[in-house]
Chain A
């Protein structure tokens, strides 16, 4: 176990955001948190990252390096792709960084500035920066939210490619069922605000071998949809 959340509650003023969330994230595991927009998924990630403190509950962790891919790319506009990726760890050789850049699909754009890239490329750069940090746990907050469906699936495949080499644990937040099904070793379903865990699904198939129309994924997908409607969600 790398992170253990026990009965986490969080409110902002009168508004309850998280309600008794308990969750474990294991080594080299990808946990996808699935829930409707505005249910408190980002708050949950920020709590794990230590950016906000829970009102109640306990977080146990034995990790030191947490990477975070935010909803926005948060790149430095005055630095090139290469410099942005290198920012979080200066110790890597150029060869290692170039390999990472190639894996994430940014080969040839090393010397471009963020404003010269498309939204998808900027997010790829942000993902590469997170992997360069060699975090034990990588938090990803709907990183491909602004991209169209096909580009999102392509980006997920690239993410899986890089993850196969780096093997850090990932906590991936999304409101897209297909993203969760393709990526997660476990899919945790949250209710509407205040977010509560209403379901958890384990997917055994290796990420690279998954197909959205496979029997298992179709079945899980259907159960997730039922669960979301039962708990008053519409996503």
Chain B
């Protein structure tokens, strides 16, 4: 019963997604026809042709893979350091108060300022990774630290009465408790990561990257190309979310 109702909800959800995407494409088509200037808004059909050309070009895989790896490395470094430091900060309040000003500083500096500083300090291939870290760290760190701080003290009291080992406490109480906080943070961070890594690439111009491809398309007034690369970026967000979902499933299976 439960299964059939969740399947019907899933199908209903998909149906509305298709309606939403189709409406968006129709709106885009109407807007492009009304403006009638491919440099401002290209037609969906023109964008599809450019998209096909980009995807079938010999450099496509290398370009996407290189940017994807920058995003993945940036995300992995940020995620692992945010979980470790966030948990420490959640357990030990002096660490939280020591890290709080740094996190506030990361949050306060404008994204463009961080990108420019990263370009000054680092090689253009590595700069986007630092940008990713500086933007995503505060978000994930605070999710983890607040998750730990908000764990029901009664559960911790129960665990101490039953002398549950520290490792088992972390595995069975702390990690599952912060999971919901972290899940919300991860979902926001994935979209943000794709956007800021590409933004950093647009400015730092590494030899091979989606950002550089964006910049070349813009310089050639190839708006259809900018649209096509945007669609590729959206697909990257989807790919990231899929990978994270699979990783979560596999860790659950390991339990």
Contact = CB atoms under 8 A, between A and B. Distances in A.
Nearest to A135: B162
Contact of A67 (B162, B164, B176): B162
A88 interface: yes
A209 B160 CA distance: 37
A76 B162 contact: no
B165 to A, nearest CB: 10
Interface string B166-182: 00100011001001000
A74 B154 contact: yes
Nearest to B255: A83
B154 A87 contact: no
Q: Does more than half of chain A's interface fall in helix, strand or loop, or is it mixed?
A: loop
Contacts of B154: 70, 72, 74
B26 to A, nearest CB: 43
Contacts of B158: 68, 70, 74
Contacts of A97: none
A66 B173 CA distance: 20
Interface in B193-213: none
A68 to B, nearest CB: 5
Contact of B164 (A66, A74, A78, A88): A88
Interface in A50-91: 51, 65-68, 70, 72, 74, 76, 78-79, 87-88
Contacts of B172: 76, 79, 87
A76 B176 contact: yes
Nearest to B156: A74
A72 B153 CA distance: 13
A78 B172 CA distance: 9
A129 B172 CA distance: 15
Contact of A49 (B155, B161, B179): B161
A76 B155 CA distance: 8
Nearest to B176: A78
B3 interface: no
Contacts of B162: 67-68, 87-88, 129, 133
Nearest to A130: B162
Given A87-B164, A88-B162, A133-B162, A74 B176 contact: no
A49 B157 CA distance: 11
Contacts of A51: 157, 160-161
User: In this complex, which of B154, B162, B172, B176 has the most chain A Cβ atoms within 10 angstroms of its Cβ?
Assistant: B162
Contacts of A66: 161
A72 B163 CA distance: 19
A160 B160 CA distance: 26
Nearest to A88: B162
B248 to A, nearest CB: 13
A88 B161 CA distance: 10
Contacts of A74: 154-155, 157-158
Contacts of A133: 162
A51 B157 CA distance: 8
A133 B176 CA distance: 22
User: In this complex, which of A72, A87, A133 has the most chain B Cβ atoms within 10 angstroms of its Cβ?
Assistant: A87
B255 to A, nearest CB: 9
User: In this complex, which of A67, A72, A74 has the most chain B Cβ atoms within 10 angstroms of its Cβ?
Assistant: A74
Interface string B145-158: 00000000011011
A179 B18 CA distance: 61
Contacts of B155: 74, 76
Contact of A76 (B161, B163, B173): B173
Contacts of B164: 87-88
B171 to A, nearest CB: 10
A231 B164 CA distance: 41
Nearest to B175: A78
A49 B168 CA distance: 21
Contacts of A87: 162, 164, 168, 172
7 contacts: A51-B160, A68-B158, A68-B161, A74-B155, A79-B176, A87-B172, A133-B162
Given A66-B161, A74-B157, A88-B162, 14 more contacts: A49-B161, A51-B157, A67-B161, A68-B161, A70-B158, A74-B154, A76-B173, A78-B176, A79-B176, A87-B164, A87-B168, A87-B172, A88-B164, A129-B162
Interface of A: 49, 51, 65-68, 70, 72, 74, 76, 78-79, 87-88, 129, 133
Interface of B: 154-155, 157-158, 160-164, 168, 172-173, 176, 179
